[in-house]
Amino acid sequence: MTGAETDRGAAPLVAVLDYGSGNVHSAVKALSAAGADARLTSDRGLIQDADGLVVPGVGAFSAVMSALRESRGGELIERRLAGGRPVLGICVGMQVMFDNGVERGHDAAGLGQWPGTVSELDAPVLPHMGWNTVRSGAGSVLFDGIEDERFYFVHSYGAQQWSLEVMRPFAEPVLTWCDYGTPFLAAVENGPLAATQFHPEKSGAAGIRLLSNWIGALPGR
């Protein structure tokens, strides 16, 4: 049953993009706990028709981009966003939404959904691993009711600036920041595209609530 065929009383169908990103079963489990019919899949039809698509990502920026290119995952993400269909990126799945990433001197092109570069955090100890608070943007859907909670991070790189200019009638993106050595983007909500640098699936009850907030905002819910 596709998203278009799902009635309002049924759990929304959320596809978790299977492109070889590693162990993502915790994300599927967390999405299910948050109220979704979550499925790890590479089926192009299901990915296109699902109510929501989650793009996980672990490891190096360049490796994730290579896997997305080989699986043509970038095309699927672009097609969904062009149609206004929701996508949620997690960790490196957020980072690759930017123009490019620089890791250990290697510059890799990203998906280019947002302008900017993902670079190493300026912090005394890396990686940034463990629980941290965030400063959620005004009107955030993702952080509704969990503004003061802590979330689980494990990364050494991040987007440290935001330069996208949005013209009316489009709404301004909602930006959520975190501090670790320097401020970096912990989450972005920009039309159908949202993303978190932290792992909601590893963030306990607060992470489940964030996923539930995203699921609840899917069209038709």
Predicted confidence (pLDDT) per residue in 181-215, tens digit? 999 999 999 999 999 999 999 999 999 999 999 99
Candidates 70, 75, 91, 120; catalytic one: 91
Q: Which pLDDT does position 169 carry in this prediction?
A: 81
The rounded distance, in Å, linking the Cα atoms of 18 and 20 is 6
Measured on CA atoms in the order 83, 86, 91, 95, is the torsion positive or negative? positive
Residue ranges per domain, the chain? 3-216
52 backbone dihedrals φ, ψ, rounded to 5°: -145, 155
* Positions in the chain whose pLDDT score sits under 70: 1-9, 221
Q: May I ask the CATH class of domain 3-216?
A: alpha beta
Q: Which pLDDT does position 191 carry in this prediction?
A: 95
Q: Hey, how many other C-beta atoms are within 10 angstroms of the C-beta on 37?
A: 18
Candidates 128, 178, 189, 201; catalytic one: 201
Q: Which pLDDT does position 9 carry in this prediction?
A: 67
Candidates 128, 178, 189, 199; catalytic one: 199
Q: Is 104 exposed, middle or buried (0-12, 13-18, 19+ CB in 10 A)?
A: exposed
Check residue 204 and give left, alpha or beta (phi > 0: left; psi -120 to 50: alpha): left
| Radius of gyration of the chain from its Cα atoms, rounded to whole angstroms | 16
Indicate the SS3 state at residue 45: helix
* 91 is an active site residue: yes
Question: Which among 52, 56, 132, 115 has a CA at the least distance from the CA of 91?
Answer: 56
